[in-house]
Homo-oligomer: A and B are copies of this chain.
């Protein structure tokens, strides 16, 4: 799967602020995050090397139309192995149906493989299992949650 002509897959920038947050609102609650707060977060992601890979897809105008983040966790198991966690996948409503979600997952999965992860995992709702199957992912367990 490839991106449409003129679209790009790249790391998030501080200047993506409003566009980035607007796309995420498709997924869940975002709240109000001002420029300084967003900058602080992106700076944090950038400061801890090898952990966060927050990526976006931009359209022909350079506008952010999809988001996703890979978080790389270092473990003891599997010979001091690394696990990639795919998080916060969102595609803006008007751009759905163009295969951007698939390209996003492929891109984040490729980063995980390059970084030496022995596996990548993600959590999704039942109705998204089919989409992730198409991305080459298989069901492996139950997500459990406790909210505060």
Residue numbers of A with Cβ under 8 A of B are 20-21, 24, 27-33, 37-38, 40-41, 44-45, 48, 51-52, 69, 71, 73-80, 85, 87-88, 109, 112-113, 117-126, 128-129, 132, 135-148
Contacts and interface: CB of A to CB of B under 8 A. Distances in A.
A141 B119 contact: no
Contact of A29 (B29, B37, B45, B77): B77
Nearest to A27: B77
B33 A76 contact: yes
B124 A123 contact: no
A interface SS class:
mixed
Contacts of A44: 74
Contacts of A139: 142-144
Contact of A121 (B29, B48, B123, B129): B123
Q: Nearest 6 pairs between A and B by C-beta? A: A31-B79, A141-B143, A137-B144, A140-B145, A119-B147, A132-B144
A140 B136 contact: no
A85 B73 CA distance: 10
A76 B87 CA distance: 11
B30 A148 contact: no
A78 B28 contact: yes
10 contacts: A30-B78, A30-B79, A33-B76, A40-B80, A73-B87, A119-B147, A123-B140, A126-B142, A128-B142, A136-B146
